[in-house]
């Protein structure tokens, strides 16, 4: 793994995590703007410009929200050096915090500018999945969001070198000796989720092309992603996000959020599809 991609004479470092975040944002924004141009039917014809402006603020809101949650759960890491809080490009973002922050800001921004939030959400949600794909590659490079330990002969096991976040965490908790060259083998959870997000991206493109109402692609994502996240949480090794016992089973904060989000999304999907079907059945056919 290479947390630092390029070191410019010790004065400036290009972190792989930050580069992947930037790539995901730029590619996702371009896809969103392209879709906005395709569906733009407003008199002003400025939907693509609206999406361009919104995506910039979404990036800010997502980074702030995801960073705030990470710092809260890892406060002991930053208490002695609060300036590290600003170094988000080195890793340390919580996806659900960023997603919630982005959604709340988008609702406000759409309301302020008189736009249909669900149309905007359907326009951008495939880009979210694709951006998350790049983000998890960045997580792999930074050594955050790691998996539980596995045997050395496990086919999808990986080790992280000194300098990765998992390495520092294992040193603090005594799981490895200070100065150890590598961590034990762990699940490549970052790659699992990255592949899953790429598959979700293609599913969302299909749903968006066939949707029957605004918000269908968004709700599809809010149902599928939590299933992926809940499954992967069982092999996540970074437990700082909190664990709770539910019905005799330890579950993480993300799993609890995922179950709630997926349930609400499924109920809304079924209700809206049925309502659309009833409305179509009551509409007189024309000859």
| Dist CA 30 CA 52 (whole Å) | 8
Say how many Å lie between the first and final Cα of the chain, rounded. Answer: 64
Least confident of 7-16, 122-131, 202-211: 7-16
Interval 200-227: pLDDT, tens? 999 999 999 999 999 999 999 999 999 9
With contact defined as beta carbons under 8 Å apart, do 244 and 256 qualify? yes
The pLDDT value given to residue 218? 96
For 154-182, b/e burial (b = at least 16 CB within 10 A) is eeebbebeeebbbbebbbeeeebeeeeee
What is the 3-state secondary structure of 199-248? HHHHHHHHHHHHCCCCCHHHHHHHHHHHHHHHHHHCCECCHHHCEEEECC
Interval 142-191: pLDDT, tens? 888 899 999 999 999 999 988 888 888 888 888 888 888 999 999 999 99
**pLDDT level of residue 197 (50, 70, 90 thresholds):** very high
**pLDDT level of residue 132 (50, 70, 90 thresholds):** very high
The pLDDT value given to residue 43? 47
| Dist CA 49 CA 46 (whole Å) | 5
Helix ranges, the chain (H): 16-39, 47-73, 75-78, 95-112, 117-142, 165-172, 189-210, 216-233, 253-282
User: How many C-beta atoms surround the C-beta of residue 149 within 10 A?
Assistant: 15
Interval 83-106: pLDDT, tens? 666 665 555 567 778 888 899 999
The pLDDT value given to residue 216? 95
> Quick check: 7 pLDDT over 60?
yes
pTM, whole model, 2 decimals?
0.85
| Dist CA 175 CA 271 (whole Å) | 49
With contact defined as beta carbons under 8 Å apart, do 160 and 1 qualify? yes
Interval 222-279: pLDDT, tens? 999 999 999 999 999 886 556 677 777 778 878 888 999 999 999 999 998 888 887 7
The pLDDT value given to residue 40? 73
Least confident of 55-59, 64-68, 283-287: 283-287
Among 130, 70, 134, 137, which residue's Cα sits nearest to residue 101? Answer: 70
């Amino acid at each position: 793994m290479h947390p630092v991609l390029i070191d410019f004479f010790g004065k400036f470092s290009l972190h792989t995590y930050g580069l992947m975040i930037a790539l995901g944002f730029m590619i996702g924004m371009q896809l969103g703007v392209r879709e906005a141009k395709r569906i733009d039917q407003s008199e002003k014809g400025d939907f693509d410009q609206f999406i361009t402006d919104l995506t910039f603020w979404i990036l800010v809101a997502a980074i702030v929200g995801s960073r705030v949650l990470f710092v809260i759960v890892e406060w002991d890491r930053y208490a002695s050096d609060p300036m590290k809080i600003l170094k988000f490009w080195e890793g340390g973002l919580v996806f659900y915090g960023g997603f919630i922050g982005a959604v709340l800001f988008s609702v406000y921004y759409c309301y302020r500018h008189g736009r249909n939030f669900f149309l905007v959400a359907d326009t951008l949600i495939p880009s979210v999945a694709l951006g998350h794909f790049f983000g998890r590659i960045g997580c792999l490079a930074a050594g955050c969001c790691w998996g539980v330990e596995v045997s050395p002969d496990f086919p999808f096991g990986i080790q992280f070198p000194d300098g990765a976040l998992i390495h520092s965490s294992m040193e603090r908790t005594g799981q490895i000796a200070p100065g150890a060259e590598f961590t034990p083998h762990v699940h490549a959870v970052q790659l699992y989720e990255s592949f899953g997000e790429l598959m979700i991206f293609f599913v969302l493109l299909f749903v968006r092309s066939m949707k029957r109402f605004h918000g269908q692609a968004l709700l599809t994502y809010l149902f599928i992603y939590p299933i992926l996240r809940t499954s992967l949480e069982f092999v996540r090794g970074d437990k700082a996000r909190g664990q709770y016992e539910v019905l005799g089973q330890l579950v993480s904060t993300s799993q609890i959020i995922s179950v709630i989000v997926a349930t609400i999304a499924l109920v809304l999907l079924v209700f809206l599809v049925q309502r659309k079907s009833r409305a179509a059945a009551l509409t007189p056919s024309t000859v």
